Amino acid sequence: MKKYFDVNSPSSVPLSLYIHIPWCIKKCPYCDFNSHEASISFDEQGYVDALIKDLEVELPHIWGRSIVSIFIGGGTPSLFSPESIDKLLSSIRAYLNFNSSIEITLEVNPGTVEANRFSEYKAVGINRLSIGVQSFNDKYLKLLGRIHTSREAEKAISICKGAGFKNFNIDLMFGLPSQNTNDALLDLSTAFDQLPTHISWYQLTIEPNTQFSFNPPNLPCDDNIWSMQKEGQELLKCNDFFQYEISAYAKKKFASIHNTNYWEFGDYIGIGAGAHSKITNFNDGKIERFSRHRVPKRYIELAGHSDVIAHKKILDSDDISLEFMMNTLRLTNGIPANLFFERTGLHMNQIKKELKYAKDRGLLDLCGDQIVASSHGQRYLNDLLEIFMK
Amino acid sequence: MPSLKYIRNFSIIAHIDHGKSTLADRFIQMCGALSDREMEEQVLDSMDIEKERGITIKSQSVTLYYEKNPKEIYQLNIIDTPGHVDFSYEVSRSLAACEGALLVVDASQGVEAQSVANSITAIDNNLKVLPVLNKVDLPSAEPERVQSEIEEIIGISAENILEVSAKSGVGVEELLEQLIQDIPSPQGENDAPLKALIIDSWFDNYLGVVSLVRIVDGEIKVGDKIRVMSSSRDFIVDQLGIFTPKRNPKKILSTGEVGYVVAGIKEIDGAPVGDTLTLAKAPADESLPGFQTIKPRVFSGLFPIDSADYESFREALAKLRLNDSALHYEPETSQALGFGFRCGFLGMLHMEIIQERLEREYNLELIITSPTVVYEVLTTSKKIITVDNPAKLPLSNTISEIREPIIVADILVPQTYLGSVITLCIEKRGVQKKIHYIGSQVSLTFEMPMSEVVLDFFDRLKSVSRGFASFDYTFLKYQEADLVKLEILINNEYVDALSFIVHKDFSQSKGRELTEKIKEFIPRQMYDVAIQAAIGSKILSRQTVKAMRKNVTAKCYGGDITRKRKLLEKQKEGKKRMKQFGTVEIPQAAFMAILHVGKNK
């Protein structure tokens, strides 16, 4: 691959840090992330130490670059004590430069136990919470196998605000088993009352190898889900939540920095069991993806060694252009055309034919310097993306 | 050189599953041609497809040496024959190289129609037909009943019929003795000019054309300059030999023998099947009669999914045609499918086999359009045109009449299923001509339109008779019929590759069923897809494939993109066999939807 990158300004590709905490009290039947039910105890201390050792190994790959965001996700990261989070963040601060407006998000479960820790999380440096509410209706919470109630969720949110978190996200799902449009919209209205800055509103989908895939629930029909989505999007808009990605809605200036970095094909280091990374090497222009061992016990053993990497792949130019599109076309407003070169180091000619084809089929708008999926293209994004597969 | 009296050339005639291949294997084993380790099941069926389907498509030969006693060693040449109705033409080719045939009949199933037809061909070719009862060790065996069936239906004496079990080997030795005694040794003059009949030819990537030949007169040696009589082209013989069934090189093939010849022939049509080989320096006066050319009965369009494959597709067809003269092809252009070939086949099985071979052996991905028979059209200007492609049917105002091919179907069925078989034949517009009770079986003769027979008649017949009915058919005549062209429109555009010719009385129901079927095959996509059936400008029926509401992955965990990619790859893979038609993707299967009409009744 040719060296197209400007090697003198590696900072032109933003860098994020993702930290994976792989335990939950109970695995949800729809979840296909790398999470494990926490048995009586899990090695919290050992895992935090492992994460720090793991980060050290990564440092040579990101030398001199500052990070724009940290996301601690899971699993249920709020199972970890504020002391552990403190230790983790302190070490990271010692190793990495933080961008002045860095976003540091912690994913939390809206249970009573966790809520009592919110103010301490704030104190150790977390500046954004992502609260996994999923629904404000106990009927659906039960169907989804969640361990909290809607009351607990509302309480947790009020504690979150009381702790001084101005920036927080509520995760909500729609298209739940036997849900009607009314119930879906009611969940949104209840969320608005909590005054979040961000709502992730996404459709429940049955992923392979989840409990739901083996024992499928009775999901609403396509037509009903479609009307939920249309009416919900209208409601979000009326309440000043602007859609910026397929499933992400935010108040002005509160789009998640961390998620936006994914969608804009930025770089990220993922540490923790099963975490994925994508790093650009500015010396040779190569882009590499890799992931770590998934099983927590094994991860703890291997952290600090290069063996902790389970899979590694240097992307070829076809991979890069496809993955660039897979991410950026999810953005409601698309991206400026020059971002393609900035993030991939490849010339636009690489995808010229495909862009034209997609445009001719009404799936893509190329207005001025902006590349954006048309409304038709957003609706049939998978068909649009298929065009970029070689 | 073996003396003629120690050579026996014979075929084995048997219905599918009546045990032909097992018997051949047993012969091979008894004559020690292969070690047990080499003894792969059913060695004669050498194509992958043949093994998988348990059928024989192409003729194959094997030479065995049977030691009756140390002084009498017999050379036995078995020329294998296909057992399916589609390939009866191949049977007559094999029989032309033989002096006798074993008629193997399952002792519980009884005589089946194709075996009857093939036996009669053998008898007409002056072959000695030796009936054999197989599977006599099964509890359901009824040797007496089957024996009388053989006598009544085929009309040969089965008085001293041999009873064997090819599976256990019981009676096989006796059978060998019997066939040496009963089947005549070949005639011919070893000193006469060479006449070698090409039974089969195929293309080998390393050797070029390999031909299976029967030496009728004279002999052929490595280094001889041979002449292909039809083209008068000369070649030097590089290799000779016999199949044991491995290729076993020899220096010489003499009168009466069956073996292979490799003569550096690189052109695919260098040694056509049925042609005669002779020596360049002492040529024979006249060539052997050869084989009658066979006309394909079923036509369909084959189109490469990737238009870049067109040339390799043409080459592949030429190679297949080399030893399958029943395969016809000529270029065809479709508005919907682009450049391809109109191919003619003996029947549906033949078509499937060719399709599979093209895809497997030549790595081609193809779309096949609905098969059709050949119609005759009498135009208003009194000209007769043959139509093998519904899209090419002349304008209706220039047609005086359309004639369809009629066949005579001979069906053998146990009495229990007689009613349902007759019902089926009448449903297929058949006219009963003869009915004849033989023991527990009934022999039925129907005249039926070929178009009704080629599509799914065979499958339906098997299903209404639980597999017990068998049939064979021959072309009879062209006959005027009230036929119309049914056209299919996708999103209001006529798709030439989906049109077909149908009897007017059935046009309404066929049109409705076909649009319903096509609907099942077209997946929901970004836009509504309207499927209409029409005759001229009259729309008979309409179905709509509703557009998908959306096609988006809701939650995409940013870090791990690999799963999402797999999803897209799966989606793309699913569309591989689809053809873009305007904004609509039509899967390959939709072009064959006609085959599924009426199946789930």
* CATH number of the domain within which A187 lies: 3.20.20.70
Residues A95 and A182 in one domain: yes
Q: How far is CA A13 from CA A3, A97, A100, A261, B562, in A?
A: 15, 15, 16, 9, 21
Q: Which residue has the higher pLDDT, B39 or B517?
A: B517
pLDDT at site B33: 59
Given A261, A294, A322, the domain boundary residue is: A261
Residue B84 pLDDT > 60, yes or no? Answer: no
Compute the C-alpha angle A277/A282/A288, nearest 5°.
Answer: 30
Question: Considering the domain boundaries, does residue A315 fall inside one?
Answer: no
- Find tokens 């050319």 and name the residue: B293
Q: Is the pLDDT of residue A342 over 80?
A: yes
What residues have CB less than 8 Å from A27, skipping those under 6 apart?
A35, A36, A37, A145, A211
Distances (CA, A) of A385 to A205, A375, B522, B572: 19, 14, 21, 10
Whether A15 is in a domain gets the answer yes
**Range A348-352 average pLDDT:** 91
The segment with the largest mean pLDDT, out of A268-272, B285-289, B586-590, is A268-272
Higher pLDDT, B71 or A272: A272
A221 and A359 within one domain: no
| B464-474 average pLDDT score | 82
Reported ipTM: 0.86
CB atoms within 10 A of CB B331: 10
B58 pLDDT higher than 60: no
Of A226, A323, A386, the CB nearest to B550: A226
Task: Judge whether B507 and B579 are in contact, CB under 8 Å.
Answer: no
Q: Which of A228, A261, A294 is the last residue of a domain?
A: A261
Question: Per residue in B365-413, pLDDT tens?
Answer: 888 888 899 999 999 999 999 998 898 899 888 999 999 999 999 998 8
Mean pLDDT of A271-281: 95
Confidence band, pLDDT 50/70/90 cuts, at residue A145: very high
The count of domains in chain A is 2
Co-location of A129 and A17 in the same domain: yes
The reported pLDDT for the residue numbered B261 is 93
Q: Are residues A213 and A357 in the same domain?
A: no
Q: Which of A261, A281, A296 is the last residue of a domain?
A: A261
Question: Is the residue at A270 inside a domain?
Answer: no
Q: Is residue A339 part of a domain?
A: yes
Residues β-bridged to residue B435: B444
The residues, any chain, with a CB within 8 Å of residue B53's CB and separated by 6 or more, are none
**pLDDT tens by residue, B291-345:** 766 778 889 999 998 888 999 999 999 888 876 777 889 999 888 888 999 999 8
Q: Residue B227 pairs with which residues in a beta bridge?
A: B234, B278
Is residue A332 over pLDDT 90?
A: yes
Is a pLDDT exceeding 80 seen at residue B22? yes
Contact across the interface for B550 and A18, Cβ inside 8 Å: no
> Could you give the C-alpha distances from B353 to A150, B346, B348, in angstroms and in order?
63, 11, 9
- Do A361 and A233 share a structural domain? no
The per-residue pLDDT for A160 is 96
pLDDT at site A8: 46
Indicate whether A28 belongs to any domain. Answer: yes
* Residue A345 and residue A213 share a domain: no
Confidence of residue B557 (pLDDT cuts 50, 70, 90): low
Chain A partners within 8 Å of B562 (Cβ): 276, 289
Confidence of residue B38 (pLDDT cuts 50, 70, 90): low
Q: How far apart are CA A274 and CA B369, in angstroms?
A: 49
Token code pair at residue A267: 């770089």
Distance from CA of A9 to the nearest CA of B (A): 24
Residues A191 and A95 in one domain: yes
> What mean pLDDT comes out for the span A10-28?
88
Whether the Cβ atoms of residue A60 and residue A7 lie closer than 8 Å to each other: no
Q: Please report whether residue A227 resides in a domain.
A: yes
**Dihedral sign from CA coordinates of B515, B516, B522, B525:** positive
| Helix, strand, coil percentages in chain B from 3-state DSSP, rounded to 5 | 30, 35, 35
Specify if A383 maps to a domain: yes
Both A109 and A211 in one domain: the answer is yes
Average pLDDT rounded to a whole number, residues A305-316 = 94
Percent of chain B with pLDDT over 70: 91
pLDDT of residue A2: 43
A270, pLDDT greater than 90 = yes
Interface test with A, best of B556, B565, B570, B580 (most A CBs within 10 A): B556
Residues 6 or more apart in contact with residue B269 via CB below 8 angstroms: B318, B321, B322
Chain A residues interacting with chain B (CB cutoff of 8 angstroms): 18, 33, 202-205, 222-223, 225-226, 229, 246-247, 259, 262-263, 268, 270, 275-278, 289, 291, 322-323, 326-327, 330, 361, 376, 378-383, 385-386, 389
Mutation target among A379, A384, A387 for the B interface, most CBs of B within 10 A? A379
Q: Domain for residue A316, yes or no?
A: no
User: Which residue range(s) make up the domain with A360?
Assistant: 335-390
Best mutation target among A174, A383, A389, A390 (most B Cβ atoms within 10 Å) is A383
Q: Helix or strand or coil: residue A40? A: coil
- Direct distance between the N- and C-terminal alpha carbons of chain B, in angstroms, rounded to an integer: 62
Same domain flag for A55 and A177: yes
Output the pLDDT for position B196.
94
Residues A240 and A341 reside in one and the same domain = no
Which percentage of chain A shows pLDDT scores above 70?
97
The whole-angstrom separation of Cα B404 and Cα B132 is 40
